Amino acid sequence: MRPRAAPRAPTGAAAAALGLFSFLLLLRPGHACPAGCACTDPHTVDCRDRGLPSVPDPFPLDVRKLLVAGNRIQHIPEDFFIFYGDLVYLDFRNNSLRSLEEGTFSGSAKLAFLDLSYNNLTQLGAGAFRSAGRLVKLSLANNNLAGVHEAAFETLESLQVLELNDNNLRSLSVAALAALPALRTLRLDGNPWLCDCDFAHLFSWLQENVSKLPKVAPGVILARSQPELFLGLSSGRRVGRDTFGILWNFWALLLCFSPCLPPTRFGTWVSQIVSWGFGS
């Protein structure tokens, strides 16, 4: 009787499939919390203020709320949302993110709340949030953003709140905002805006769309009698260096905008802004 042959080792593809299957078993719903984190309920993982250098792993597959604020994380893994597609709420504040690669949010079909404030982001490329079409609130405040591609927010048709305040933005394409039909709250204060035609068109677009942006933030309003916008203008005060960089006052705005806008539009803008009290 011939001796039985030893079983063959799995091929590369089979080994990869076996490894993935084992990983998914490990990540079954209800799996225990990652080391050093806390789970306040079956769908919430709290890893805040742990000094983590990277996103801890693994999480339960059905995690819906992930809190990783206050760490030293520099990168969101490219396949992160492929494994954790049930995430609705991601708090990534106060970390060390430097960039967002296109495709980072692939698989994030349920993500509604994303807070990336207080990181080190400098640029937003085209399609930075592609596949995150259900986002309702996106905070990018207090980064070092100096550039936002006009297609950075494409596909974000549900976005209602966008915070770009306290960055290094000197200009912002109107196209980036026009791609957000559901937008209701916009924060742009705390940026060193450059007085040029791009800014003139941005300011004009904000004026024309002020009725669709009714949400309020205390102390930062565009117009005394209009729904509030957050552009760093305080009601009844002149435009100052503290809010608009080289835009020192109302008359500087007039000189800046007059060559940029058609006469009819410019005249309407002047009459409205004078009625709001910025020239006094």
State how many domains the chain has.
1
Give the type of residue at 151: A
Query: Is residue 204 one of the residues assigned to a domain?
Result: yes
Query: Is residue 5 one of the residues assigned to a domain?
Result: no
Over the stretch 91-140, which tens digit does the pLDDT of each residue have? 999 999 999 988 889 989 999 999 999 999 999 999 999 899 999 999 99
Radius of gyration of the chain from its Cα atoms, rounded to whole angstroms: 24
Helix (H) or strand (E) holding 15: helix 12-26
Instruction: Give every CB contact of residue 2 below 8 A, 6+ residues apart in sequence.
Output: none
Query: Is residue 280 one of the residues assigned to a domain?
Result: no
Query: Is residue 19 one of the residues assigned to a domain?
Result: no
Query: Is residue 17 one of the residues assigned to a domain?
Result: no
Q: How many CB atoms lie within 10 A of CB 211?
A: 8
User: Which range of residues forms the domain containing residue 98?
Assistant: 27-275
Most confident of 26-35, 75-84, 106-115: 106-115
Q: Which of 169, 60, 152, 49 has its CA nearest to residue 105?
A: 152
Q: Residue 57: its pLDDT value, please?
A: 80
- Rounded average pLDDT over 138-160: 96
Q: Which of 150, 154, 153 has its CA nearest to residue 172?
A: 150
Q: Residue 58: its pLDDT value, please?
A: 83
Q: Does the pLDDT at position 278 exceed 50?
A: no
Whole-number Å distance between alpha carbons of 99 and 125: 9
Helix (H) or strand (E) holding 162: strand 161-163
Give the type of residue at 79: D
Q: 191: domain CATH number?
A: 3.80.10.10
Query: Is residue 4 one of the residues assigned to a domain?
Result: no
* DSSP state, residue 161: E
Q: Does the pLDDT at position 208 exceed 90?
A: no
Among 73-77, 135-139, 188-192, the range scoring the smallest mean pLDDT is: 188-192
Over the stretch 217-239, which tens digit does the pLDDT of each residue have? 333 333 322 323 444 443 333 33
Over the stretch 238-256, which tens digit does the pLDDT of each residue have? 333 344 433 334 555 565 6
Whole-number Å distance between alpha carbons of 228 and 91: 26
Rounded (5°) CA angle 118-175-224: 70
Query: Is residue 9 one of the residues assigned to a domain?
Result: no
Query: Is residue 15 one of the residues assigned to a domain?
Result: no
Q: Residue 88: its pLDDT value, please?
A: 98
Q: Which of 126, 7, 31, 11 has its CA nearest to residue 83?
A: 31
Instruction: Give every CB contact of residue 57 below 8 A, 6+ residues apart in sequence.
Output: 34
